[in-house]
Structure 1
Amino acid sequence: MILQGNDPTTGASFSLGNRIQRQLWQCVWLCLFRPSPRPLHVWRSALLKLFGARLGQHVHIYPGVKIWAPWNLRVGSHVGVANGVTLYNMAPIEIGDFCVVSQGAHLCTGTHDYNSANFQLVAHPIVLAAHVWICAEAFVSPGVTLAEGAVIAPRAVVSKSLRTPWTVYAGIPARAISTRVRHAKSSA
């Protein structure tokens, strides 16, 4: 999908087919997804599925969510993604069952190789295990995997995978600050 060895100052970083597909999605997002009333989760899910997203049951993706490429989105069941969230998914983003991504959070799979002569664009997937909560305005970097039940505090920056389950992380960079109680219902 990402063109290799190109000069990003004079040429595109993606194939023509990818750019056309993203333009079509942007038109649908602007005309049909974004203006849809908040309760119409089924409508927005149908639009996302039309563009290749894989969604479980009871997925609530709100109209103000910005999704770069629906075909790179995998969402489990009983998931909420709030208004103002950015899913910049050049590479796949996987969101497990019972996850919440709060207002203004940014999950970013793309970056640049700053040591390459052409500042090569690269992308790495993000994986959220079940029961993860990304709090308001947190940032998750490319290539990050978050363990089951992890909580990422508001405005935290996650720059590497956090693999200890049921842990609360905060700060820049995010560090463990507490544990989270796992309830019997959580194992469902």
Structure 2
Amino acid sequence: MFLKCITFLLPWFLRRKALEAWFGYKIHPSARIGFAWVFPRKLVMAPGAQIDHLTVAINLDLIEMGQKSKIGRGNWITGFPTKSGSLHFKHNTGRKAELRLGACAAITKNHHIDCTDTISIGRYSTIAGYNSQLLTHSINVFENRQDCAPIFIGEYTFVGTNVVVLGGAFLPSYSVLGAKSLLNKPQQEEWTLYGGVPAKAISEIPQHAKYFTRAEGFVH
């Protein structure tokens, strides 16, 4: 904790070196972390990756960010590390408390990301808007125990504001999850708009839509 507090207060050019030397993180010189408390067990940031101010990311095994990926301001990212001595999740033998972002993927701001199990967000995908919850764990009322399952968000997807995505959910590539939706299971069809509580296929998305063919992550 003492070393974490020291690194938190350092200017970035010194903090990056301290994070690599003291915690073994791998941070490209062009990557950057703002005024944020980010301390997973392992951190890998590719060229141009960015974590903005006031984000908290703790109790994870790994955060891996692809080239030019971004975690915006004020996100709360937590997990339950696999090295814990707790009895929670012992039956989930393959569990990994990880957050993985592909190249140019983005999480905007003020979201709650629960990485008790893996959350994988594909390249050029956007967790947009505010106040969404991606929750990989809950209580299994039938077995009376904590349980978890991973969440997978495909490539070139758009996740609307204020949604809930639960463990075991899969959003296919080239698709949209509408605002205020609940995604609680795997979906299959690409080029589809999903929405509702629970989310279901609503309509097809034309394959000439420019969001799904862009070569830059940032949308002007």
Q: State the TM-score, normalizing by the size of structure 1.
A: 0.71
Counterpart of 2:76?
A: 66
- Matches for 1:33-182 after TM superposition, within 5 Å: 42-43=32-33, 47=38, 49=43, 52-69=62-79, 72-102=98-128, 103-116=130-143, 119-182=144-207
Distance 1:149 1:139 in 2: 19
1:60 is aligned with what amino acid? Answer: K
Structure 1 stretches lacking a partner, 5+ long: 1-23, 33-39
Distance 2:69 2:31 in 1: 7
Distance 1:171 1:155, change over 3 A: same
Residue 181 of structure 1, CA deviation: 2.2
SS state at 2:134 partner: strand
Structure 2 stretches lacking a partner, 5+ long: 10-29, 45-59, 82-96, 216-220
Distance 1:100 1:187, change over 3 A: closer
More strand by percentage: 2
Distance 1:97 1:147 in 2: 12
Distance 1:89 1:107 in 2: 8
More helix by percentage: 1
Counterpart contact for 1:41–1:59, Cα < 8 Å: no
Counterpart contact for 1:41–1:62, Cα < 8 Å: no
Runs of 4+, deviation exceeding 4 Å:
44-48
Residue 41 of structure 1, CA deviation: 7.0
Count of aligned pairs between the two proteins: 152
Identity %: 22
SS state at 1:178 partner: strand
Residue 46 of structure 1, CA deviation: 11
Task: Tell me how large the CA RMSD over aligned residues is.
Answer: 2.8
SS state at 2:174 partner: coil
Distance 2:64 2:138 in 1: 24
Q: State the TM-score, normalizing by the size of structure 2.
A: 0.61
Residue 187 of structure 1, CA deviation: 8.2
